[in-house]
Structure 1
Amino acid sequence: MGMNVYSNREEILERINAMTADDRDAEVVDYLMSFPEEELTDELKGLLARAYNNTGEYEKALPLLVETESYGRETANWNFRMGYSLYFLGDYEGSLKYFSQALEIEPDDEDTKWFIAQCNINMPFRQRVVDFWKWFSENSADIEEMLAGRNDGRGSLSDLMAEGMSIIGEDVYYNIGGDRELTFCVEGNTECYYLYPYLVDNMPLELKDRWTVHSCQHPSDISGFTFRMYDKDIPMTEILVRADYDAESSAFDLCYHHPALAELDEAKSINAFYVILQHAIGEGAVYNYVYDVRQSDSTDGMYPIGELSSGMKNMLENNGKEYHTEPELNWCTYRCEPKEDSEKLREEIICGNSRFMLLNRQYMEGDMQCYRDLALKGASAMFLMITIPDGWGIKEFMDMRYTIEDRIESMFGNSDTPGLLLGGAMGNKDIAYIDVLLFDGPGFLRHLNDPLVMDDLLRCGDGSVMDSSVYAKGFCQNDPMVELRKRDRMG
């Protein structure tokens, strides 16, 4: 070849990187394969593996990466390439391991975060729920013995429960005790309000006869409870509150006061109060009714926090509303000022409704936190886009959107395609949006890819099939758009 790989390293790398930048990865493969085998350094083998990955030859990339593990395992690039190969070979659990290691090395890499989300989505929440309850059934006798104080060398209850909770995902909090009572705790993780009811509803019947399981923390009797956090010991009954009710939103702004909380900085004080509040009125009521909290130096109009739940209940009922301690996931109607010239999806939306507004807002802001939090537990937040057929009016198209939403909700009643309808919207570019939360995203998309299923979804009242294109996209701006049906497919 006439080029010494060691003396001409910079020139070789420059040539490879130029070809890669121009998407000429097949040329990179040809170029590197022309080197004598003894001149292919570990660095060049890594670049050859990258080129194979980029040309879709993942089975050729993987052995090169395994061969160069000792050279690259401490680098983000090597771990990313391993994860990438395994992901497209369908080994999502193995892929997740390497992408997670890459993220530890480079914590801000958005591509790595996206692949971690996709790995988890391909290990669906639906299957995790099945696996968790299978694990719980197999270990329930040991758990009951430990709760009764009979350990007999079984190890710690917390270690055993951590094993089970890891099946569901990261950051799964719970309380267990009493007379065989298990409570999943949201602990400020908003996605759990949308996931845990499905988890609890799918508890096997044989366990329901023995165990009481809750999807969020219920109100507690806080008399005698002391809050211990941030080096503070605060009897909960000493905390004073005032609830200001907004009739239009049926929500409360809360003011609170306690000298020890006033000594903390604002973020810690508010966090501490939320922990106390969730004990006092329950996580469901906090989610349903509390809009804002703030500390106050004044105690005017305040009363003990133990009276807050009954006070909120009375205020709501006096305004013709009901008080619920389970999360309601209420619908919210919204209007937008569409951006006429924008090419970004959803920026042309005129109006819509949603039961997960935070997810909507974050998508528009380019923030994928909610999307990622759901994905880490195997759930996929997604929207469908449906184009208006030629000759249809907006009213007819909107009515059909509602019909399709009803049909999707019926699909969610099927144990193979579970999920939640999150909302819908209309844009000024003749597109209807339907927002969904899927507990088995890959399974749902496979279901919709069946032409007969899609025909039934788009079937009009006269029996004809609506001539529309249908696409799916995750609530993450860099998610690819998936075509599910092309216009004129029916000929």
Structure 2
Amino acid sequence: MYIKKYWGNYIGGSDDSLNLVEFLADQNKEEITLSEIFAKIGLDKQNWDFHQTAGYLEFTHSNGVEMDFHFAIDVITDLAAILLECSVSGSVNLKDLDDYNTPSRRIRITATVEEHHAMNKALADFAKDPLSYDLHEMMSDDEIKEMAEQVEALRKELYEEGGKNRNFHIKAEEMKELLPDWEGADGCIATNRIMVEGNKVGYCYREEPDNGWDSGWRFTAGDESDEYMDDPNNSAIYKLNTICNDDPDIIPLLNTPAPCAFERDENGVFRQVEDWTPEQEEDSDMDILQQCQKWHENNEHHKIIEALEGIEERTPEMDSQLARAYNNEADHRTPEGRAMLKKAIALLKPHEEYFKGDYYWNFRMGYSYYYLDQEGRALRYFEKALENRPDDEDTMQLIDGCKKAISLPQFSECFRERTEDWWETFAEMEAQFRQMMDDDTDNTHGTEIVTQMEGALNLVFDDISFELGHNGEKYELILTPEGDRVKLFELVYFQKHAPKEVLEHWNILVGRKPIQNIDLKTNDGWNVSGQDVQVWIEELGENSFGLSVYCKKLLPKLKNEENKVWWLLVTLTDQLLGEIPNMRYIDNFDVLKKPKKEPSILMSKLPEKMKEMGLDLSNDAEGYLESYVSYKTTPDYDKDSDWRLDVIVGSTCCMPLINGYLDNDNVYMDDLQADGVVAGFFCYPLATLREEEGSQKIFDFRERLEQQLEENCGSEVLKLIGGATGYYYGYVDFIAWDISKALEVAKKIFEESDIPWASFHTFRREAGSVRLKQVDGLGETLQGIDYIQYTPENAEAFYQQLDQWNDQDEYVRCVQALNAVPESWRDYRFAYAMARALENYAIIGDHDEGTPIYKGDAALLRAIEVLESVQEEGKDKAEWNMRMAYGYQYLYGQEEKAIPYAQRWAELDPKDETAKDLIKELQEEIDRRASDDDGSES
């Protein structure tokens, strides 16, 4: 943002500033006049005199809340800054003005010449005599004088630099079509001296075009300096027709082939420059990618988007720059921002082979996925990027963030919340869809209707297949899993949450329904029916069959369009059997290039044949998902091997997740996480259960655990999908629609059980575990060695012993010895010693071996808790504040809480440079995190 040097302190930093941004956001406009702003908030009553605020300045928000402005001059200086941004950048992103809760949306404020004159005078008056304004009541003399200096600098930029007001000279609504017969590329570059300030073209030239968008023409007023031309803010890409509206005199020149150049003589007539070559302009001209880099360095990402989106035939390099701009412009917390991130991926993906091994391509792909809460997909791209830049700190930090997120996924909105929000919104808008479908009597708007529904469903599903229709009574939304059993769980959950008011008009179905006598047709003229296809059925196992199909009609297409032939025949099978029966029974499908010798049946007869075999062809998706399979494996007896490798026997209703975990294949996990869903398992030791009552105790505990999970979580939060018994551990498998709630409930259940420890792990084999209950020795008392136990009489000897153990990195031993101190003897010295031992254990680990994050976090939280118990005695001690600062520093994302303690430490012990270093380190981490949250990539 150009005005960031002004915005955020005296200008743009008040409550009036926040209310002004809120007002502009509430207008929901792309452009608004200064006079409209004045009228709506009451500034028109001031008659351009802002020394004293006359009456109430206020507006009523669309949500009904009344918002006040306290000082008229405060609002005027803010508006002047926004006018400057609009004059430089064309518009302002409201989110840049207030990034806390303002949507990312651009707006442009326009003003008449008279209003600009009045604004110039109002700013000059304030700069000359700021003490005479009512705002002085809230500011000291020095503060308001400093503000006046900033206002004067702003005023000069807005009105005195070259005497310009940089709103476009010709407005869009005033444009005429002056080149109706122009053929070929019509893009060009022109300077602000022409397009903003209204000067005539004084010098222009045509070089060989950069790309398909470019005509090669470059237009200047002729008096621009080299420094002016080097600044990308002073020029932009336009259509030739736009330049002609500003200066029609150039029209006769436009068909002159490149290379050529023209300059206007003293009589205003264009003369061709003799012996001109493009090399003469190389210093002052830059190609579009260089200009994009300049805009990027100035954080003007919207300019990159506007320029490159106007180019029809972009190069891979242009698409990469455009993707970076979308990444940087996106606010990942909003639907609009998430759409930008998806757009970036769509721009980058087609060029994977072209950019193979390229750092920037991989980093940008990873960046987009990371801020879409798809850290599993992001991780692979960041790791490839790191291969090219092994020491890149940004990439390493993002990889660390990905690894934490795939171990404990967190979502801005989980699948449960997405589903609830979607149905609530759809209930309000479904009548519009029905009307659109009713109005489309000639089937000419089907693509438009489907596109709108897809856009709506993408708010819940990253990828979704569906069909729309009407069965004569109700409208139908058919959600199709496309053979994906894991996806089917999501679709059934989503379907079951459709509200009654929607179901009055709609059937929400999962899986294509069977249709007799179906004749499939494609847009390019293909058609096939069940009468055209021969089928051979092979029994593979219990309720498991393979189909071999042969279609002579499609044989000519099979060689060059094999994938499309397969899709057509699989879809035809879905339509004849129903999609769910196809998934339930057909485990192998093969398209033949020549028929088998054995007798076949027509595909149209396949449903009848399968019914004769006693198979259930109902389209009950939920019932199908309740079918479990049992499995046995040969256990790995290595206790340090990965989870589940010790499994002896198990059962599941979602075998693809089990196989994906064992095969290190994360496709299903990536798909689920993209939708805010997590599949994982709880694991716990079996040793104590075996000791008590043998194997029956193991099964009883698992049954009781599953029952408690269902009772306390319910189907809203998770779906149990099976479990397994291993040589060492037990496992309960589930799909969580709300992972935070599921883990919260599970943690409580395990803590109230006799199981010594329990963990959560996703179905990503490489992910870390999250400990839900732990026994790490920190809760025990010291046993098995002789040591000096605490009494008030031997306190010195006891604490000297702790100091010795601390020096030997025996932190758990220190904690256990302190645990044995009776409650009545625990004082400040005890609390400080305990906090020191816990923090050293968390940060360093016994014998400098490190500590797992989940154990370290628990120790740090306990250290903070014990320090807070002696806050009154410790708050004025440097050592107490030091320990509090370190405790919060090493808890993820808690640096803001650490800073006040570090500052107090520095106050109490000014000679300790460590405190000052810590403050600096904490602030740097906060700034880095803020930069990441802003969604800014390099």
TM-score normalised to structure 1 length? 0.71
- Give the C-alpha shift of residue 160 in structure 1: 2.5
3-state SS in 2 of match to 1:218? coil
Q: Does 1:355 align with 2:653?
A: yes
Equivalent-residue separation in structure 2 for 1:280 and 1:127 (angstroms): 36
Q: Counterpart of 1:364? A: 662
Equivalent residues, number? 402
- Give the C-alpha shift of residue 389 in structure 1: 5.0
Instruction: Give yes or no for contact 1:121–1:376 (8 Å, CA) kept in 2.
Output: no
3-state SS in 2 of match to 1:133? helix
Q: Counterpart of 1:281? A: 577
- Give the C-alpha shift of residue 426 in structure 1: 1.2
Root-mean-square deviation (CA, aligned residues, Å) is 3.8
Query: Which one of 532, 546, 551 corresponds to residue 253 of structure 1?
Result: 546
Equivalent-residue separation in structure 2 for 1:170 and 1:75 (angstroms): 24
CA displacement 1:389-438 (0-9 Å, x = unmatched): 533333312321122123223344253xx221111111112x10111001
Query: Which one of 608, 611, 614 corresponds to residue 316 of structure 1?
Result: 614
Q: Match for 1:470: what amino acid?
A: A
Q: Does 1:191 align with 2:491?
A: no
Residues 397, 262 of structure 1: alpha-carbon distance in 2 compared, 3 angstrom cutoff? same
Q: Match for 1:200: what amino acid?
A: Q
Residues 268, 183 of structure 1: alpha-carbon distance in 2 compared, 3 angstrom cutoff? closer
Q: Match for 2:573: what amino acid?
A: L
Residues 383, 82 of structure 1: alpha-carbon distance in 2 compared, 3 angstrom cutoff? farther
Residues 210, 109 of structure 1: alpha-carbon distance in 2 compared, 3 angstrom cutoff? closer
Query: Which one of 404, 407, 426 corresponds to residue 708 of structure 2?
Result: 407
Instruction: Give yes or no for contact 1:220–1:280 (8 Å, CA) kept in 2.
Output: yes
- Give the C-alpha shift of residue 92 in structure 1: 11
Q: Match for 2:509: what amino acid?
A: H
Q: Counterpart of 1:124? A: 414
Q: Counterpart of 1:291? A: 587
Q: Counterpart of 1:170? A: 462
- Give the C-alpha shift of residue 440 in structure 1: 1.0
- Give the C-alpha shift of residue 357 in structure 1: 0.9
Q: Does 1:477 align with 2:776?
A: no
- Give the C-alpha shift of residue 274 in structure 1: 1.3
3-state SS in 2 of match to 1:316? coil
Q: Counterpart of 1:51? A: none
Residues 259, 121 of structure 1: alpha-carbon distance in 2 compared, 3 angstrom cutoff? farther
Q: Counterpart of 1:379? A: 677
Equivalent-residue separation in structure 2 for 1:340 and 1:170 (angstroms): 40
Equivalent-residue separation in structure 2 for 1:149 and 1:478 (angstroms): 52
For structure 2, the residue ranges without an aligned partner over 5 or more in a row are 1-293, 302-319, 350-360, 366-376, 383-401, 781-938
Q: Does 1:333 align with 2:630?
A: yes
- Give the C-alpha shift of residue 256 in structure 1: 1.1
Greater fraction of residues in helix: 2
Instruction: Give yes or no for contact 1:355–1:422 (8 Å, CA) kept in 2.
Output: yes
Equivalent-residue separation in structure 1 for 2:420 and 2:434 (angstroms): 21
Residues 409, 228 of structure 1: alpha-carbon distance in 2 compared, 3 angstrom cutoff? same
Q: Does 1:272 align with 2:555?
A: no
Equivalent-residue separation in structure 1 for 2:573 and 2:652 (angstroms): 26
Equivalent-residue separation in structure 2 for 1:216 and 1:277 (angstroms): 12
CA displacement 1:93-127 (0-9 Å, x = unmatched): 96996699588522586345857978785521111
Instruction: Give yes or no for contact 1:191–1:373 (8 Å, CA) kept in 2.
Output: no
Query: Which one of 429, 438, 441 corresponds to residue 139 of structure 1?
Result: 429
Q: Counterpart of 2:642? A: 344
Instruction: Give yes or no for contact 1:353–1:423 (8 Å, CA) kept in 2.
Output: yes
- Give the C-alpha shift of residue 230 in structure 1: 8.4
Q: Match for 2:537: what amino acid?
A: A
Equivalent-residue separation in structure 2 for 1:137 and 1:368 (angstroms): 35
Q: Counterpart of 2:722? A: 423
Instruction: Give yes or no for contact 1:467–1:490 (8 Å, CA) kept in 2.
Output: no
Residues 441, 280 of structure 1: alpha-carbon distance in 2 compared, 3 angstrom cutoff? same
Q: Match for 2:297: what amino acid?
A: S
- Give the C-alpha shift of residue 467 in structure 1: 2.7
Q: Match for 1:291: what amino acid?
A: D
Residues 150, 243 of structure 1: alpha-carbon distance in 2 compared, 3 angstrom cutoff? closer
Q: Which structure is richer in relative contact order (CA contacts within 8 A, separation 6 or more)?
A: 1
Q: Does 1:447 align with 2:740?
A: no
Q: In terms of Rg, which structure is larger?
A: 2
Query: Which one of 452, 472, 482 corresponds to residue 160 of structure 1?
Result: 452
- Give the C-alpha shift of residue 249 in structure 1: 2.2
3-state SS in 1 of match to 2:547? strand
Q: Counterpart of 1:433? A: 731
- Give the C-alpha shift of residue 134 in structure 1: 1.5
Q: Counterpart of 2:902? A: none
Q: Counterpart of 1:218? A: 513
For structure 1, the residue ranges without an aligned partner over 5 or more in a row are 1-66, 457-464
CA displacement 1:157-184 (0-9 Å, x = unmatched): 2233123111112221211121311111
Instruction: Give yes or no for contact 1:92–1:119 (8 Å, CA) kept in 2.
Output: no
Instruction: Give yes or no for contact 2:629–2:652 (8 Å, CA) kept in 1.
Output: yes
Instruction: Give yes or no for contact 2:409–2:678 (8 Å, CA) kept in 1.
Output: no
3-state SS in 2 of match to 1:350? strand
Q: Match for 2:738: what amino acid?
A: D
Q: Match for 1:421: what amino acid?
A: L
Q: Match for 1:419: what amino acid?
A: L
Equivalent-residue separation in structure 1 for 2:336 and 2:659 (angstroms): 31
Instruction: Give yes or no for contact 1:250–1:316 (8 Å, CA) kept in 2.
Output: no
3-state SS in 1 of match to 2:458? helix
Instruction: Give yes or no for contact 1:175–1:182 (8 Å, CA) kept in 2.
Output: yes
Higher mean alpha-carbon deviation, 306-315 vs 389-398, is at 389-398
Instruction: Give yes or no for contact 2:652–2:723 (8 Å, CA) kept in 1.
Output: yes
- Give the C-alpha shift of residue 323 in structure 1: 4.0
Residues 414, 187 of structure 1: alpha-carbon distance in 2 compared, 3 angstrom cutoff? closer
Instruction: Give yes or no for contact 1:257–1:299 (8 Å, CA) kept in 2.
Output: no
- Give the C-alpha shift of residue 381 in structure 1: 0.5
Q: Counterpart of 1:200? A: 495
3-state SS in 2 of match to 1:437? strand
- Give the C-alpha shift of residue 209 in structure 1: 2.1
Instruction: Give yes or no for contact 1:244–1:254 (8 Å, CA) kept in 2.
Output: yes
3-state SS in 1 of match to 2:439? coil
- Identity within the alignment, %: 18
Q: Does 1:468 align with 2:756?
A: yes
Equivalent-residue separation in structure 1 for 2:462 and 2:493 (angstroms): 17
Q: Match for 1:145: what amino acid?
A: Q
